[in-house]
């Protein structure tokens, strides 16, 4: 299964290693250790997405509201008939730029106000931009193409409502893959593309067959290959073609897509796929940059004040967005 053949002949021209030679912070090591029991519990109980939502969402919601919301406010709204949660920085640096965010969670769990509340507050506060996070429908109740249809509807309405605003599309994990699929669909259908895109630890290959799904399965404290394969089937059940670019955008064409920054940790099972996306995009003339963060696990940017690398990552994102204005 784990052939690793995708990466044959891949060069390093599309990649940048961040902080080589720097030691991993003690706090990030402790967080990594704290997260590992979740993988053991999944192996033992193999809970359904509904069960995970029932137990995880209330806990992370409680944790998120206990953290003071200094520097941002939150509003509920909708675009294109799709619920949206807006994170608005009190010190808004530029009203001409706005972030549209697609949250991760394997297309089956996650939301703006539970799993991603702290991360999105910090993203908005650090960049100084308003952030609209789209609450797309989740699998298995709503398999593909429900999520893609929802984010397309919301995106088109956001564009119509903000015709003179530079829109930056961001997403993490499954939301990163969904962001890439959305850009491909926008291009294919002749719609307005984002000014740029930022993908945190994107899940772009639902076949889960690149080499690091095997070699990093033990080192990644956040993701388990077995779980990725399971939720992939929930989102794109057979006979849906998991190699379709709107499902697994790693198989798509990158020509005509906007400048894109991909941030991935070198301990992730998704590492090889991020490398390959960057290399294929470069080969097709697209402006994609992949930054590989040594020692970092999946979606480390979400952990806010708990680890310094989270703040460093968001500062990097803010600088990258501003460099393209």
What single DSSP character describes residue 196? E
Residues in the chain: 325
On whether the CB atoms of residues 211 and 2 are closer than 8 A, the answer is yes
Beta bridge partners of 72: 89
Domains of the chain from N-terminus onward: 5-323 (3.40.50.1820)
> Does the pLDDT of residue 216 top 70, yes or no?
yes
Query: Which residues, other chains included, contact 15 with Cβ-Cβ below 8 Å and sequence gap of 6+?
Result: 275, 278, 290, 291, 292
Helix or strand or coil: residue 252?
coil
pLDDT band at 7 (very low <50, low <70, confident <90, very high): very low
In the set 173, 201, 210, 310, the catalytic residue is: 173
Percent of the chain with pLDDT over 70: 92
> Does the pLDDT of residue 146 top 90, yes or no?
yes
Across 295-321, average pLDDT: 95
Give the tokens for residue 312: 């460093």
Claim: this prediction has a pTM higher than 0.95: no
Helix or strand or coil: residue 33?
helix
Q: What is the pLDDT of residue 12?
A: 41
Give the tokens for residue 98: 């706005």
> Does the pLDDT of residue 55 top 90, yes or no?
no
Tens digits of residue pLDDT in 261-294: 999 999 999 999 999 999 999 999 999 999 999 9
Lowest mean pLDDT among 56-65, 80-89, 170-179: 56-65
In the set 64, 124, 201, 268, the catalytic residue is: 268
Residue 170: what are its φ and ψ, rounded to 5°? -130, 150
Q: What is the pLDDT of residue 14?
A: 61
- 173 is a catalytic site residue: yes
pLDDT band at 5 (very low <50, low <70, confident <90, very high): very low
Buried (b) or exposed (e) across 174-185, using 16+ Cβ within 10 A? bbbbbbbbbbbb
> Does the pLDDT of residue 66 top 80, yes or no?
no
Total Cβ atoms within 10 A of residue 323: 10
- 201 is a catalytic site residue: no
Across 90-113, average pLDDT: 93
Total Cβ atoms within 10 A of residue 112: 24
DSSP code string of 69-132? -TTEEEEEEEETTEEEEEEEESS---TTEEEEEE--STTTS--TTTTTHHHHHHHHHHHT-EEE
> Does the pLDDT of residue 161 top 50, yes or no?
yes
CA triple 189-286-255, angle to 5 deg = 35
Give the tokens for residue 251: 């198989």
pLDDT band at 16 (very low <50, low <70, confident <90, very high): confident
Tens digits of residue pLDDT in 220-255: 999 999 999 999 999 999 999 999 999 999 999 999
Q: How far apart are CA 109 and CA 130, in angstroms?
A: 24
List C-alpha distances in Å: 142 to 136, 181, 237, 247, 269.
Answer: 10, 17, 11, 14, 26
> Does the pLDDT of residue 35 top 50, yes or no?
yes
Q: What is the pLDDT of residue 19?
A: 54
**Positive or negative: CA dihedral 206, 211, 217, 222:** negative
Give the tokens for residue 64: 């998120």
């Amino acid at each position: 299964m784990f052939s690793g053949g995708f990466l044959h002949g891949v060069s390093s021209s599309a990649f940048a290693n961040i902080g080589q030679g720097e030691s991993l912070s003690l706090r990030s090591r402790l967080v990594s250790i704290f997260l590992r029991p979740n993988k053991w519990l999944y192996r033992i109980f193999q809970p359904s997405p509904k069960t995970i939502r029932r137990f995880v969402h209330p806990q992370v919601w409680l944790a998120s509201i206990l953290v003071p919301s200094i520097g941002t406010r939150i509003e509920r709204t909708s675009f294109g008939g799709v619920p949206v949660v807006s994170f608005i920085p009190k010190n808004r640096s530029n009203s001409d730029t706005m972030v549209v965010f697609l949250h991760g969670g394997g297309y089956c769990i996650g939301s703006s106000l539970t799993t991603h509340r702290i991360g999105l507050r910090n993203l908005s506060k650090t960049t100084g931009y308003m952030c609209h996070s789209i609450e797309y429908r989740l699998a298995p109740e709503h398999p593909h193409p429900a999520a893609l249809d929802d984010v397309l509807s919301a995106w088109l309405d956001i564009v119509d409502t903000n015709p003179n605003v530079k829109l930056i599309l961001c997403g993490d994990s499954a939301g990163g893959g969904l962001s890439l699929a959305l850009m491909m669909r926008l291009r294919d259908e002749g719609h307005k593309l984002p000014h740029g895109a930022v993908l945190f630890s994107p899940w772009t290959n639902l076949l889960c067959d690149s080499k690091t799904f095997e070699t990093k399965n033990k080192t990644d404290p956040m993701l388990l290959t077995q779980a990725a394969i399971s939720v992939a089937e929930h989102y794109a059940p057979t006979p849906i073609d998991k190699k379709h670019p709107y499902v697994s955008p790693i198989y798509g064409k990158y020509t005509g897509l906007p400048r894109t920054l991909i941030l991935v940790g070198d301990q992730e099972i998704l590492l090889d796929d991020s490398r390959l996306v960057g290399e294929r995009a470069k080969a097709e003339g697209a402006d994609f940059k992949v930054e590989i963060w040594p020692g970092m696990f999946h979606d480390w940017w979400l952990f806010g004040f708990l680890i310094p690398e989270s703040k460093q990552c968001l500062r990097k994102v803010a600088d990258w967005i501003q460099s393209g204005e």
